[in-house]
Structure 1
Amino acid sequence: MSRIFALLALSPIVAITSLGACSGQRSDSEPTSEAANASGASAQSALDAVVSPTAAVQFGDAAGPGAGGRVLTLSGLGTLLFDQAPPGDGPWSERGAQASDTCRVITSADYPGVYAITEGGKVRRITAGASSNVTSIEGIGVGSTRAQVNDAFPGFQETPHKYVAGAKYLTTPGAENGRPAVRLEMSPQGKVTAIHIGMMPTLGYVEACS
């Protein structure tokens, strides 16, 4: 079972149920009030880590290029952070024609196969595509199987791909809550073809800025 990232894949109700289950199986006899209080405090602490906007983005490494910098997290990728402007002195910049005055696509030579979408000058989505070697903290990347995805992120919602017959989108439940969420594109053969992390509605765009 993956760490906080996997917990975020669960709906609030399921997450609370799972967190309660993590405290152990209930015995035939009723727990003492002291044990019950301790169990409740432990579950609440874990729940706070999931729903807290600050704690929820710190499950992965957001360092610069290198082993840790190749990990795409709910914070962002390297120095590119969600809901913040791209660093002015960083490697990310606009290249080529842009389809919108307000929605912009930026890329970096440090991250082949990756692009980010900014709206209102702030990063709203990062996508790791076919030629990318970026992964999640759990090791999920392009080419990962459906079984590996299910093990790392149980409870993701499946919807049909807009263009590819038999392909699927797998999305974090509750992605509309305004915080960074995950959407994976799965091929008809059941392998990851792209990883998107960002905030709705940008997370749901199917053609970069549209």
Structure 2
Amino acid sequence: MKHLISAAALALCLAACSSKPSPSASAATASAVPEESIATSADTASGDEGAIAAAQPMVMPVGNTPMLTLEGLDDLEIGKPVPRDGSWAERGAQISDACRTVSSPEFPGVYAIVEDGKVRRITVGQRSDVTLVEGIGVGAGEAEVKQAFPGFRASPHAYEDAPAKYLTAPNAGSGEAALRFEIGQDGKVSLIHVGTMPVLGYVEGCA
């Protein structure tokens, strides 16, 4: 009888021990987790900033506002002839054979000066919605211009009393295209010019 009880106790002990998961079984269970899930979790934990950046929408230019650059406007380029098949052409009376002006119905309020067969200056006036890349157009405040172009030189306006003035790029006169603003007495941009000297400094059309 004593031997029977000992045998029964041994059997129960063996059953209890066999019910615990073995290390090899635990490892097998862990290895059953897909590697893709592990990699994804690790990437998410270590790359939160990249994930957030990727989720941000890309900012794209809004609208079709034409831009005036140092190179020119649309197909009209500083230092090159007026395109033959474009919309730019002479309109109205011309005051000189040596200096001509061209305009385009696609760009109201804008005209260009042509000398020696090449575009020397493009001027943006009151009726134009053309702006610079910086977003500055006719009607912008003087303070806005100075903030965007802090090194520009101020000089007295030829036809208007102060505070009207010209603000001209410091590289004007170097032979390269430069920028020049006309500021009215109201402290706002009245005209924007891009071109090369001396034409950039003309105060009245071809003069």
On whether the aligned pair clears a TM of 0.5, the verdict is yes
Where do 1:11-50 residues align within 5 Å? none
Where do 1:30-179 residues align within 5 Å? 70-166=66-162, 167-179=164-176
The one-letter code sitting in structure 2 at the alignment partner of 1:142 is V
Question: What is the RMSD of the two structures over their aligned residues, measured on CA atoms?
Answer: 1.3
- Can you give the 5+ residue segments of structure 2 that lack an aligned partner in the other structure? 1-61
By how many angstroms is 1:189 displaced? 2.0
2:29 maps to none
1:182 maps to 179
2:23 maps to none
More contact order relative to length (CA 8 Å, sep ≥ 6) = 1
By how many angstroms is 1:69 displaced? 6.5
Distance 2:141 2:107 in 1: 22
Distance 1:100 1:147 in 2: 37
1:208 maps to 205
Does 1:199 pair with 2:196?
yes
**1:130 aligned counterpart, secondary structure:** coil
By how many angstroms is 1:81 displaced? 0.4
Kindly tell me the number of residue pairs found equivalent between the two proteins.
145
Distance 2:181 2:104 in 1: 21
**1:147 aligned counterpart, secondary structure:** helix
Distance 2:83 2:190 in 1: 28
In the alignment, is the contact (CA less than 8 A) between 1:69 and 1:78 conserved in 2?
A: no
In the alignment, is the contact (CA less than 8 A) between 2:124 and 2:192 conserved in 1?
A: yes
Q: Which has the larger radius of gyration?
A: 2
Runs of 4+ in 1 over 6 A off after TM superposition: none
**1:99 aligned counterpart, secondary structure:** coil
By how many angstroms is 1:101 displaced? 0.4
In structure 2, relative to structure 1, the CA distance for the partners of 1:67 and 1:127 (3 Å cut) is farther
By how many angstroms is 1:174 displaced? 2.5
In structure 2, relative to structure 1, the CA distance for the partners of 1:147 and 1:72 (3 Å cut) is same
Distance 1:81 1:186 in 2: 25
In the alignment, is the contact (CA less than 8 A) between 1:69 and 1:77 conserved in 2?
A: no
Structure 1 length normalisation: TM-score? Answer: 0.67
**1:106 aligned counterpart, secondary structure:** strand
By how many angstroms is 1:126 displaced? 0.1
- Can you give the 5+ residue segments of structure 1 that lack an aligned partner in the other structure? 1-65
**1:127 aligned counterpart, secondary structure:** strand
**1:177 aligned counterpart, secondary structure:** coil
**2:170 aligned counterpart, secondary structure:** coil
In structure 2, relative to structure 1, the CA distance for the partners of 1:150 and 1:199 (3 Å cut) is same
The one-letter code sitting in structure 1 at the alignment partner of 2:131 is T
By how many angstroms is 1:67 displaced? 5.1
By how many angstroms is 1:184 displaced? 0.2
